[in-house]
Structure 1
Amino acid sequence: MYKYSVILISLLSMVLFVWALNVEDEYGARALGMGRTFVAVADDGYSALWNPAGMDFFKERTLTAMFSRLYWGVDNDAIGQGFLSYIHHWDGIGSAGITVTQLFSNIWWETRAVFSYGKRIGGKFSVGMNMKLLRNEVVKSNITYTEQPGDIEHGISNPAEDPFFAANGWSKIGFTGDVGAMYKPNRKLTIGLMAANLTQPDMSFAGIGAEGKEPLSIRVGASYWIKDNILPAFDIRYLNDEVNGKNIIRPNIGVEYWFAGKNIAVRSGFNPEEYAFGFTYRSRKSLDLQVDYAFIYPLSDVRQTGATSHKLSATLRFLPPPKPLFDLALRTTNMSAYPQNAIIGEPINIKAVVENLGERDVDEYKVSLYYEDPEQGWVLAAPVKTVKEKLEPGAKKEIEWSWTAGQKGHYQFFAAVDDDGIAIPNLHGSISEIDEDNNKGFVEFTVFPLPEGTVSPVENSLEISQVTLIREEEPIVPVIFFDPMEHRVDDRFQHMLSVISERLRKNPDIHINLYGYYNPESDGDIYEFGEKLALNRAKAVRSVLFHRFPDIRDQIHIVAPPAYDPAHYRSGKSEDHLPEDRARAEAENRRVEMRTYVEGFQDWEPTVFFNKNSA
């Protein structure tokens, strides 16, 4: 009888133990190693459980897994935890994650499926939510019973035939939700809030009410980066679960220290229930693997059994692939009209060439043709054409119209690609392009009335007595700067680049080498991803340079690492400057440099000789 009483008591104790657990507070070796102070950190694969609002503050997609053995030293059972999570990001839409957790022992399984969503609102604030499916189960197949003499006389029967479970079932399913918020007023300070188990579902098998409910948990905290490698954090947690007639309010404190290079970190944390410490190794390579470990020593009565917990988790981080660029072009140099001198009533054939200067296929686009009428203003010369023919990168498509003039005059016709014609002469399209200044071209022609009278030719001559050559140069600073994590050329550089492209067209023996750079402090410190960003910046500058004159494409060259260091500082590291100058210093490091040479004279160096008496 004693044997089976122990089984039933152990089972009941396990059920009560699981009710006391909260999923969002039990997973992630990094978070647990900081004493569970993670609501204002939440910047990795565990953010979905600790604070879903944190998911949209980092760009990497993450795949995270964890396994841990709980309470080493407790005999006759193997209590463990498992965790698997994936977080994905979409530009402008937000971030979403799916997580599955399990707490298991020989006769008890607790499973949670969590669907998470987070969205930044502006640059400093984010909100998030979780929808959770909860399932608790007593594993009937693992319950063993061997009848002993006297069991029937003493009322002992097979636990697998217990009338309680026969009446209430061996499993229970419930649903609940969480909400979170995060605020980052600057790069160092973060404030977080998380409320879990909002509906407090009753997960007891018999539906006993308040005592069987998942308790409401509210956590608020803050973290602050010191010198970009020390992260102290502090949380306060409220748990709507009475102990001695009072709800639980517990503080948590933790700190994390990253060594130079940010490949290795150590951490420690404390709360009234436990002391913890741990460490991390992160590869920070193209395969960005992070492994976290935590050791937890309970400060409750459990420590008297010698029970401790070890947590081990791993996270793979994937940066989203660089977005291919759209860039359609329709330029004046590729437009024509025939005849150039037409007669009223004579059809005029107008042609324009659409080019795909970008990196992505374009499946459908619109082209408009319009002019300015002296009386009606801007009018469409023909219905807007919709081209449903794939235009691959580097490909061209000729568009043709026929128009007949009703009155004489000199006409200037404009054609525009990716334009639906509802806002002429302004562009109104649907394709987000890297450069929309090259979407419009024009052609001119003259329409005459039918000739009348006679024409008497007179010999004319033109004599040039003097030719004056005026050469005017515009000073150029051969550096293009970029916003953090961006590779789009800002509008303020368009004029300068158009001047450079014009000079390249007029000087075919001049070549330009483009060197792209990134700033580790503001663009991220992973070399492989920074190298890709630097190359994308150089590609964007190249695209803008030859969009007006495709013939200069062979004069523009992109230099790729390792021929140079794409992380080379132009104005020094951020920490070398005063706080008010750091933003400008970092901006100067996010750049593309242009260096010219004369074809055939790449290795020549100019030498200037001065008179010894010159000043």
Structure 2
Amino acid sequence: MKCLFLSLACVFLVSGAILADSGEFGVKDAGGGLAGAALYQDAGSILMNPASAGLLRSNCFTAGYSRLAWGIGGSSIERGLGCYVFRQPELGGAGLSFTILNQDVSYYAKLGLTIAPELRLFDRELAFGITGVWYQTGYRPSHFEGHDIGLDPIFIETTHKNAFGLSAGVIGNIYERLWFGLAARDINEPNLALKDTVGYGKRPIELQAGVFYPVDRYFRPSVDFMWRNETINDKELIRVRVGAESHLPRGLKFRVGYDGTGLDFGLTLHSSALFGGFDIDYAFVYPLEKDLADVGAVSHHFGLSIWSVKKRPVKVDLAAEGVSPAGVFVPGVKGQIHGTLSNIGKARSDGFSVSLSYRDTSGLWRPVFPVKYLDGLPKDSTVTLTWDWKPKEAGVYTIRMVVDDDGRDTPKINSKLAERNEENNISETTVTVGISGNIEFVIGTRKGWVTRLEYLVEEKPLVPIVFFEPGDAELDSEEIELMRIYAERLGHNPDANLIIEGFFDPSDEVECTTGAELALRRAEAVKNALVSIMPESEKQIVLANEIYCAKPEYRIDPARARANPDLIAAENRRAEMRIEYPAAKTRFVEYSLAAGVTEVPTSVTFDDSTVAILKRNEDAIVLIQGGFGAGEDSTIALARAEALRSRLENYDPTILPGKIRIVPGWDGADVKATVSGEGILWAPTVSKPNVMGFQDLEPHFTEITLTSTGFDDIHVDSSRVNMVTPDGYLIRNVHRGPGLPPAKVRWDWLDEGGHLVVPDQIVRVQAEIFIGEKLVVFMSQGKKGRLFLRVKDIQRKIRKLLVVQFIFDETEPTSHFLESRLDGLAHDIVTQARAKMAPDVKLAGHTDAIGTEKHNQRLSERRAARELSVLRLYLIHHLGVKNSAELDAWLAKEGIVVDAAGYGDTKPYTLQGVSDDGLPVILGNNETPRGRTVNRRVTVEYGIDEDSPYRQK
């Protein structure tokens, strides 16, 4: 009988050892052919290769349950596991693991402690790991059939055995996306046999080496070779293990593999809804050994992994290198402060703010505006910032620059970035204010005159989209300036919410969930830039992104321009902005009318909260769209919209003019009124007026006398005399040379580009004195210290108006707010005509450079024709004529020409004479996504004659 149960014991124990191979590792590895030597997938990966603990993206807990060889009658072989990895970025990770394999007659358990440091070698990621394992095997003799309790000599002393094992591994990124892994398990061959006769015996050394190369998100193969120092049928045990993983949409991952003894299949569902995300795993193993396959001895594995929020290594270290004055400071005179800072860390920083403050003579700390914002700083780089500062009185001041501080609570510091060293972010210096020297100015002729003047007023378009480089989430300097405009406008619209949504594109070369994280980082970058400029705007900003695995959402479908994939991809890597007024109903009026009816139904009422928003928010408007149905003339559309506008103005006469705008629609006899904040994002800024021509300038120049005193004991190296705006911006340099400035200088009323200064612009005289490395600035003060130009006669203002920006390859506008400004143009045309100063109006349609020349020409003509038809509807409405025929008759009578033309991509958006050197500035650069967006437009150019208020009649 004893021999019988001993034989049975050996059968059960040996079968358990064989089955343990598929139950040794994590669920993800089990579903991928056990080809995981170069992979780090979750906490369970440390069972395969201890080095994985040093590379996981964040802390992770993994639990699993398995039914092994399910299908063998009368047996129940179960496996449970629990693993936890704690990650410390840049240092590595530590892990704790526990597994137990249980069957009727025995169990096999191990408890492991893993240490895995992380390294960077030749700028490649690398981790080493070592695991110490405590093993225990235990037996249940009473479960052996025919066992004599207490009489068996094998189990009479003990029924379990303990042993200590050691495993080690390495994983490294050896080339681009190619990873290599090597694991050595049970290096010391722990012995788990009872009396050296029964049980698992010595655990053999097992070596496994492999590579992993993710070709793309859909094909991520790995290949491993495993060697074990034991023989089966007199042959060394060497197995090839192959696996592949595919990342599908919505967080779904599919695996398939061959582990040398069976075919493996795996499935993972990932969600970012909780913590840093969680995985639900399943793996299925089908044996290829005939005996096991015949009885259906398949294995099922179930797992759950929970991730903490990703810990990003702190690699950035910003340092304030120094702060110093740029010259000698005089009370009441503006000077400059230079501050130098650097990134002495190991990685580029995200965007951050830099504040400057001073402690005045009374001991109080005061901020110096503006707070500077840098869109990140590369490692090992240095930058110098400059602030203007005008001390009020003489004395000794302490100047302090703080890096990564938003300046809201000076002298307290409000930092945003995590840094290696927070103690090196401050630099201070003392400045003594006061100098005995002074310069006084006497202006000969402060007022110049011209008899006729023609000048051009242009608009600089805004695009509420931020574009990014592949894989990047940083704003460039142009976009930071855009954020300054938006931050200021948000301040004038306290009820507005700015919704920011980031997007990714396949050109970012990221996986679906990582792409969603990149999209969120892009939205956060825009928000951070705005908040750094105006901290109080934070409560108005809402991020629309969610972290889940999804396909890219295209602004432009790549299928629409297959010949230009790189250009389209550049426009899809973006963050978009839109405005909502949450306290108001977005569409607060909507109704349908019968054919030919324009009157507002008596049932229509208005919400007082909507009216309140119009009054509290500078850029909030009501946009009323009137439509026309089948068989109706299109002119009825604006008549319907006008009826609702009149009704709303009568409801509350205090609503400012221009707060209610009307636009024609084409979707039936409906009227819709919407509260819109599009003006915050789309309203163009007006560029510096550019004088095109003038007559009879008197006098041709003005003479300025400069009297310098108090410089007898001071060596002045050089000086400059400038004509500047009251804010100190250069208009014209009229002298530069060694020593003090001359006693007299002349100015011919022209700017640096040779253009006449704009009428009524205040100009002051500025003297800059250079003493060694210091600069002292003096400026003419008071009414006697300013100059300006007047127009005696009629002045003609030529306006170049941005009417519409269009959706790519379409004639549909991106903003009805912009198109509604044609209403004001129609009003100007009618007003000028009635004053017998008929303007000529030219509408010009344009496109970007994507597409063929022929296609773009036709598209630009269609765009211009659309806006011409809209302008004609507004003219019919303002004149009160019945139809297009009557409008044509009126235009002919008044001698007004209103025409439209298309120019394709031949005329990128350009501003004339706005640079410091007077040269045109091209905004519509077709090499950039912002420039191409600007070029999809229709502009209108027309002249208005204005009677000068200084005209001598």
Same fold (TM over 0.5): yes
Residue 302 of structure 2 corresponds to 313
Shift of 1:36: 2.3
Q: 1:102 aligns with which of 100, 103, 115?
A: 100
Residue 48 of structure 1 corresponds to 46
Residue 238 of structure 1 corresponds to 227
SS in 2 for 1:310: strand
Establish whether residue 190 from structure 1 lines up as the match of residue 179 from structure 2. Answer: yes
CA contact (8 A) 2:211 2:224 kept: yes
Query: Per the alignment, do residues 566 and 482 of structure 1 end up closer, same or farther by CA in structure 2, a change over 3 Å counting?
Result: farther
Shift of 1:58: 4.8
The Cα offsets for residues 542-574 of structure 1, whole Å up to 9 and x where unpaired, read as 23322xxx57x3897446359xx9954457679
Q: 2:620 aligns with which of 600, 603, 608?
A: 600
Shift of 1:102: 0.7
Residue 121 of structure 1 corresponds to 120
The CA distance in 1 between the partners of 2:160 and 2:351, in whole Å, is 61
Name which one, 1 or 2, has greater alpha-carbon Rg. Answer: 2
Q: 1:560 aligns with which of 541, 544, 547?
A: 544
Query: Structure 1: which 5+ runs fail to align?
Result: 147-156, 339-347, 358-407, 420-428, 450-458
Residue 133 of structure 2 corresponds to 133
SS in 2 for 1:84: strand
Residue 179 of structure 1 corresponds to 169
The Cα offsets for residues 123-155 of structure 1, whole Å up to 9 and x where unpaired, read as 643224242323223345745787xxxxxxxxx
Amino acid aligned to 1:351 = W
Alignment TM-score, normalising by the size of structure 2: 0.44
Amino acid aligned to 1:525 = C
Aligned counterparts, 1:461-610, within 5 A:
465-466=446-447, 489=474, 493=477, 497=480, 501=484, 509=492, 513=498, 515-519=500-504, 521=506, 522=508, 524-526=511-513, 532-546=520-534, 550=535, 553=537, 557-558=541-542, 560=544, 568-569=553-554, 589-593=572-576, 599-601=619-621, 602-603=677-678, 604-606=817-819, 607=821, 610=841
The CA distance in 1 between the partners of 2:490 and 2:416, in whole Å, is 33
Residue 697 of structure 2 corresponds to none
The CA distance in 2 between the partners of 1:592 and 1:32, in whole Å, is 40
Larger mean Cα displacement after TM superposition, 597-606 or 85-94: 597-606
Query: Per the alignment, do residues 125 and 554 of structure 1 end up closer, same or farther by CA in structure 2, a change over 3 Å counting?
Result: closer
SS in 2 for 1:349: coil
Query: Per the alignment, do residues 216 and 586 of structure 1 end up closer, same or farther by CA in structure 2, a change over 3 Å counting?
Result: farther
Establish whether residue 222 from structure 1 lines up as the match of residue 220 from structure 2. Answer: no
Query: Per the alignment, do residues 352 and 111 of structure 1 end up closer, same or farther by CA in structure 2, a change over 3 Å counting?
Result: farther
Residue 413 of structure 1 corresponds to 398
Establish whether residue 249 from structure 1 lines up as the match of residue 272 from structure 2. Answer: no
Larger mean Cα displacement after TM superposition, 195-204 or 475-484: 475-484
SS in 1 for 2:194: coil
Amino acid aligned to 2:163 = I
Establish whether residue 280 from structure 1 lines up as the match of residue 267 from structure 2. Answer: yes
CA contact (8 A) 2:466 2:479 kept: no
Shift of 1:8: 1.8
The CA distance in 2 between the partners of 1:514 and 1:434, in whole Å, is 26
Query: Per the alignment, do residues 517 and 460 of structure 1 end up closer, same or farther by CA in structure 2, a change over 3 Å counting?
Result: closer
Residue 80 of structure 1 corresponds to 78
The CA distance in 2 between the partners of 1:503 and 1:73, in whole Å, is 67
Higher relative contact order (CA 8 A, sep 6+): 1
Alignment TM-score, normalising by the size of structure 1: 0.65
Query: Per the alignment, do residues 202 and 571 of structure 1 end up closer, same or farther by CA in structure 2, a change over 3 Å counting?
Result: farther
CA contact (8 A) 1:218 1:237 kept: yes
CA contact (8 A) 1:518 1:591 kept: yes
Shift of 1:101: 0.7
SS in 2 for 1:74: coil
The CA distance in 1 between the partners of 2:81 and 2:127, in whole Å, is 23
Aligned counterparts, 1:414-453, within 5 A:
414-417=399-402, 433=417, 446=433
The CA distance in 2 between the partners of 1:231 and 1:42, in whole Å, is 13
Shift of 1:229: 1.2
SS in 1 for 2:433: strand
The CA distance in 2 between the partners of 1:231 and 1:174, in whole Å, is 36
The Cα offsets for residues 13-44 of structure 1, whole Å up to 9 and x where unpaired, read as 44455566777973334433333222234423
Query: Per the alignment, do residues 170 and 53 of structure 1 end up closer, same or farther by CA in structure 2, a change over 3 Å counting?
Result: closer
The CA distance in 1 between the partners of 2:527 and 2:111, in whole Å, is 43
SS in 2 for 1:190: strand
SS in 2 for 1:599: coil
SS in 2 for 1:164: coil
Query: Per the alignment, do residues 541 and 173 of structure 1 end up closer, same or farther by CA in structure 2, a change over 3 Å counting?
Result: same
Shift of 1:525: 2.1
CA contact (8 A) 1:34 1:277 kept: yes
Residue 190 of structure 2 corresponds to 201
The CA distance in 1 between the partners of 2:170 and 2:577, in whole Å, is 47
SS in 1 for 2:6: helix
Amino acid aligned to 1:537 = A
SS in 1 for 2:99: strand
Query: Per the alignment, do residues 483 and 544 of structure 1 end up closer, same or farther by CA in structure 2, a change over 3 Å counting?
Result: farther
Amino acid aligned to 2:620 = G
The CA distance in 1 between the partners of 2:368 and 2:280, in whole Å, is 48
Shift of 1:239: 0.6
CA contact (8 A) 2:57 2:310 kept: no
The Cα offsets for residues 413-450 of structure 1, whole Å up to 9 and x where unpaired, read as 3214479xxxxxxxxx997737999967888653589x
Amino acid aligned to 1:110 = Y
Number of positions where the alignment pairs a residue of Structure 1 with one of Structure 2: 508
Q: CA RMSD in A?
A: 5.3
SS in 1 for 2:46: helix
Query: Per the alignment, do residues 354 and 410 of structure 1 end up closer, same or farther by CA in structure 2, a change over 3 Å counting?
Result: closer
Q: 2:360 aligns with which of 317, 325, 337?
A: 337
CA contact (8 A) 1:258 1:266 kept: no
The CA distance in 1 between the partners of 2:425 and 2:532, in whole Å, is 9
Shift of 1:88: 3.9
Larger mean Cα displacement after TM superposition, 235-244 or 584-593: 584-593
The Cα offsets for residues 161-218 of structure 1, whole Å up to 9 and x where unpaired, read as 433344566322323222132336334x433322211222222233689x93221111
The CA distance in 2 between the partners of 1:48 and 1:331, in whole Å, is 46
CA contact (8 A) 2:179 2:212 kept: yes
Amino acid aligned to 2:360 = A
Query: Per the alignment, do residues 167 and 587 of structure 1 end up closer, same or farther by CA in structure 2, a change over 3 Å counting?
Result: farther
SS in 2 for 1:102: strand
Shift of 1:294: 0.4
Amino acid aligned to 1:335 = Y
Query: Per the alignment, do residues 331 and 80 of structure 1 end up closer, same or farther by CA in structure 2, a change over 3 Å counting?
Result: closer
Amino acid aligned to 2:307 = F
Amino acid aligned to 1:413 = T
The CA distance in 1 between the partners of 2:485 and 2:443, in whole Å, is 31
